[in-house]
Structure formats: C-alpha cells, structure tokens
Amino acid sequence: MRTAVGQFTASPDWKDNLLACQDLTAQAERGGADLLVLPEGVLARFTEDRHRIREVAQPLDGPFVSALRETTEGGHTTVVVGIHEPSGDGRVFNTLVALRDGRLVARYRKIHLYDAFGDQESANVRPADEAPVVVDVAGTQVGLMTCYDVRFPELARLLVDAGAEVLALPAAWVRGPAKERHWEVMLAARALENTCWVAASGECGPRNIGNSMIVDPLGTVRARLSHSPGLAWSETDPETTLAARRTLPVLANRRFAVSPRLLAPGELP
C-alpha cells in the first residue's frame, strides 16, 4: 500500500483549509497514494481561543466534508482527515473521516481528550463512546486514532486485535518542553509493541510541531517531514509487517488481553 502523510498550517478560515486539503489530496492522487493521512481538526487553526471550535464545527454532510468528498470522486486515494462536528450537547465531537471515491467510508470520534499540559479539550469537546474503527484500504486494514489517543496503548492494541496493520493518526501536536520527543517516542512505541505501521500527520505552524512521519513495524522512521507544509511517502507493505511479526512475535507471545470495555471519564482512581 502506497501511503502519504501530509501537513500544512491551518488558517482561521475553513475554506482556506479546504483548499489546502484538496491540493494535498490531488498531489497524493497523482503520486499513486492508496492512503493519505491529513491533520486533526482542520476546520480552523487551533488557537488559545479553543471555544471557537464550537463555532466552526460542521456536520458530516456540511460544506467541508461534502466538498472534500467531491474532490475524491473518481479517484483511488483514501483520505483520512480530522474535523469538529456538532455533538448535540453544545460541545463538539473531534471526528476523523475517511473519504474515498466520493464516499464517506468510515468515521471515528475521538475517545481520549487532551486534558493535559494545562489544556482542557473536554471543555469544548465531548468524549465519544466508540468501538475501535478499522477501514479496508487497498486490501490493508487501517485503524483510526487521533492525536492524544497515541498516549494510550490500549486503543492501539484493540485496533490491532481488530485486524489493523496500519494505524492512521491525524494530530495537532502542541509545542512544549520535550513534546516533540514524546511524539517521536510514542509513534515508535505504538509501532514496535504492535508490529504495525504508523502513519501520523501533524499540523505545522506556530503552535504545532508538524513532524509528520511514517514508522515501520520495527520502529524505523521510513519517511518524515519537518516544520514545513508538504507530503512524505512510504510503501507500507504487508510483507514487511509479516516479516516483523515473525522476527518479533510480541503479539503471539503476550500473556494479557486488553478488555474492550470502555471506562467513563474519571472512572479509575
């Protein structure tokens, strides 16, 4: 499977961000990508005024997703990108959509909210109660995760148990002390502990680190971007996955299963 990760600096205007997504989608399609992973929450730039994500949220049949669906029509590439959509309780869902050939083929609403490092995503975003979402892309099973989800290995393991060979991870990873190191370490850890590929896209710009990358099942970075807009590419082939799982059979050797029971926020002490 030919995979691309793309990043750009989001604008306050969703129409500008749509154009950026359409441009990267067109580049990915011309390059023969089966999968394109774009950043999280691209309807508007993430700013200190986080309440604004309520104002810019759009439903899945709204103008942003509808226009991007039209962009993919007649094409081969599956595009995974994050938006915010109204949740019905005054807050929004942080939602990933997977689009292919004019259709919405999958949707994942973020489970783990970024209530950390002095931020409180849950003030404006409603945590979802979602089963793991895996979508078939060119015969490869792709699991969907969003940003802060990467800090929770249970979700990655549940996705792999559901058949995922690649984890697609849109993000808007905020700058901060050691944050870029956290990003790199956890992408490699999720790949290594599950012997799977990780295709992670991060918004770039003054607030977020960019640093999109594709990591192979033995934790090697196969492609990466720095802090500028663009695309990075890699072949995320099943032969490499199978070879890694023969060499490092951690999935076969494990002694504990991850329970799919979803805890309520704050349920554990």
Instruction: Assess contact for 34 and 3: CB atoms under 8 A.
Output: yes
Q: Which two tokens stand for residue 14?
A: 């969703």
* The one catalytic residue among 21, 29, 85, 147: 147
Measure Cα distances from 166 to 108, 161, 220, 241, 254 in Å: 15, 12, 14, 9, 20
User: What DSSP string describes 120-162?
Assistant: -GGGTBPPP-----EEEETTEEEEE--GGGGG-HHHHHHHHHT
What φ, ψ does residue 232 adopt, rounded to 5°?
-125, 150
Q: Which two tokens stand for residue 31?
A: 């390059």
Clarify whether 40 is annotated catalytic: yes
Which residues, in sequence order, are bridge partners of residue 36? 4, 79
Clarify whether 204 is annotated catalytic: no
Alpha helices in the chain (DSSP H): 14-30, 52-56, 63-72, 153-161, 179-194, 238-247, 250-253
State how far the Cα of 189 lies from the Cα of 150, in Å rounded to an integer.
9
* The one catalytic residue among 29, 40, 165, 203: 40
| The residue type at 64 | F
* The one catalytic residue among 21, 110, 165, 203: 110
Clarify whether 70 is annotated catalytic: no
Positions marked catalytic: 40, 110, 147
